[in-house]
Structure 1
Amino acid sequence: MTLVSTLSFLKKLNKNNNKEWFDKNRSAYEEAKKEVKALVQLVIEKTAVFDPSIASLEPKDCMFRINRDVRFSKDKSPYKTNMGFMIAPGGKKSIKGCYYVHIEPGNCFIAGGIWMPMPEHLKLIRQEIDYNGDALKKIFSSKDVKKYFSDFDEESKLIRMPKDYEETHPYAEWLKLKSFTVTFPIDEAIFSDKKVVEEITKPFKGIHALNAFLNGALDS
């Protein structure tokens, strides 16, 4: 399978982001949505081989609405120009570590981990890094992880150390993080390749190891 129709639709939507155009091209949107839904199902099945915790998910549990929430945004464009999906135990609203695929012409990527955990969950993750940072370092050094990810993303990071931790802590840079995500950019051509499922799930084994560490912190 491929997402040729999806990419074509998103490129056109980017140039015509208004309700009138969308309504006239709703059939193209439905076709794109159908393609993505089929992809999500195959990715769930492939991922469940090494991560049984997501085996019971259905595509609807993982996919997002294309409508934007414009209530507090200066940009009043009504639609997202991407179609992403998040696979995690419990679905897209889960607090657990996830696998995320972002489909957007010119900005496609695979990501994973936990984005902006709640304060109580952030505290648990920091405690786990404090106690078992060596284990996390070993995960980042493993073949499945280092091929795609060198470290956590640093989009949300404290300047100073959080309370209760010393500046000299060996894992100070991880303890300063407020999100624990990894990102791997991919070429949109992957979605036109019949091996798209195989290509997408290659980085997932590394994400699985990182998620296991993060989820272990939440379960402690």
Structure 2
Amino acid sequence: MSFSAMYTFLKKLQQNNTKEWMDAHREEYHKVRDFYIEWLDKMNLKLAKIDPNYYDTPGKKAINRINNNLMFHPNKPIYKDHFGAGLDQVSKQGDFYIHLGTSESFIGGGYWHPSPKILKSIRQAIDYNGEELKKILNKKSFREMFGEMVVDNPLKTAPKGYSQEHEHIDLLRRKSFAVTVGLTQKEVMSNNFEERVVEIYNEMLPFRRYLNQAITV
């Protein structure tokens, strides 16, 4: 089994996105899923060796369901067009997210549309020491890998409790704090993909640690 087989399965699934087709190909699905879980287990051990604060996340815990949540999104297809997983995962947010799919593949991390409580904590950290976050975001190697944070719909005015003239008002207006780096299928299927994942993890780590510390202090 391989990432090539995973992409092939996902392409077939999206062309036949029905429960009947999935039931008829359940064995193939489990083989692909088990391959991904085994790969995640390997990465889980590898990342734990390079990060003393890494949160152990076995593959079965890391991997997300392939079913879409039709209760909240009834117009979506039954099944997703990707396999998603979050390593270094204390909760579903703030993890090291790996998304491998037919339409796009990427690695991301941070907080996308966090709860009001988490967003409040991040803003308090920025108010206290926003210079540290800006230093991380402006690091040359970080910008070369991730560019800007993922575009969100920021507030037009200062959030409650903060001045419009605050030195970090550009960060305080944000509703999300996340970065991503795109992956090609060729890159995912290459022999050095694991090394690429480690490289991305290391570059993203100060950013994720800043945010995670902000919500735990």
TM-score, normalised by the number of residues in structure 2: 0.92
Alpha carbons 1:144, 1:205 under 8 Å: kept: no
- Structure showing greater relative contact order (alpha-carbon pairs closer than 8 Å, 6 or more residues apart): 1
Residue 45 and residue 134 in structure 1: after superposition, are their counterparts in 2 closer, same or farther (change >3 A)?
same
C-alpha separation in 2, matches of 1:79 and 1:108: 17
* SS of the residue 1:86 aligns to: strand
What SS does structure 2 have at the residue aligned with 1:40?
A: helix
Q: Quick check: 1:82 aligned with 2:82?
A: yes
1:181 and 2:178 are equivalent in the alignment: yes
Aligned: 1:123 with 2:115: no
Contact 1:100 1:111 in 2 (8 A): yes
Partner SS state of residue 203, structure 1: helix
Q: Is 1:167 matched up with 2:170?
A: no
Q: Is the 8 A contact 1:2 1:196 kept in 2?
A: no
- Find the aligned partners of 2:29 and 2:84 in 1 and give their Cα distance: 14
Q: Deviations over 1:32-78 (max 9, x none)?
A: 10121122112212222332333532111111111111123242521
CA pair 117-72 structure 1, distance change in 2 beyond 3 A: closer
Moved more, 37-46 or 11-20: 37-46
Q: Write the distance in 1 (CA, Å) between the matches of 2:42 and 2:139.
A: 26
C-alpha separation in 1, matches of 2:88 and 2:141: 19
The worse-fitting range, judged by mean Cα deviation, of 54-63 and 4-13 is 54-63
Q: Contact (CA 8 Å) 2:154, 2:173: kept in 1 or not?
A: yes
- The 8 Å contact of residues 39 and 197 in structure 1, kept in 2 or not, is answered as no
* C-alpha deviation, 1:114, in angstroms: 1.8
Residue matched to 1:22: 22
Match of 2:135 among 138, 143, 160: 138
Aligned equivalents of 1:211 and 1:132: distance in 2?
A: 15
Aligned-partner SS, 1:183: strand
Kept after mapping to 1: 8 A contact 2:83/2:101: yes
Aligned residue pairs total 217
The verdict on how the C-alpha distance between 1:126 and 1:55 changes in structure 2, with shifts beyond 3 A counting, is closer
Say if 1:99 and 1:204, in contact at 8 Å, map to a contact too: yes
Which position in structure 2 is the counterpart of 1:3?
3
SS at match of 1:100: strand
Aligned to 1:108: 105
Query: Runs (4+) of structure 1 moved beyond 4 Å?
Result: none
1:65-80 correspondence to structure 2 within 5 Å? 65-80=65-80
- Whether contact under 8 Å (1:88, 1:94) holds in the other structure is no
Which secondary structure state, in structure 1, belongs to the residue aligned with residue 211 of structure 2? helix
Report deviation, 1:192: 1.4
- CA shift digits 1:142-168 (9 cap, x unpaired): 354223123321224222220111222
> Which letter does structure 2 place at the counterpart of 1:20?
E
Give, as a single letter, the amino acid of the residue that structure 2 aligns with 1:42.
K
Query: Could you list the runs of 5+ residues in structure 1 that have no partner in the other structure?
Result: none
Contact 1:42 1:197 in 2 (8 A): no
* 1:108-142, Cα deviation, whole Å (9 max, x unpaired): 11100122222122111101111111111111233
> Unaligned regions of 5+ residues in structure 2, if any?
none
Q: Which amino acid aligns with 1:153?
A: V
Aligned-pair Cα RMSD in Å = 1.8
Q: Distance in 2 between matches of 1:48 and 1:89?
A: 12
Q: Which amino acid aligns with 1:132?
A: N
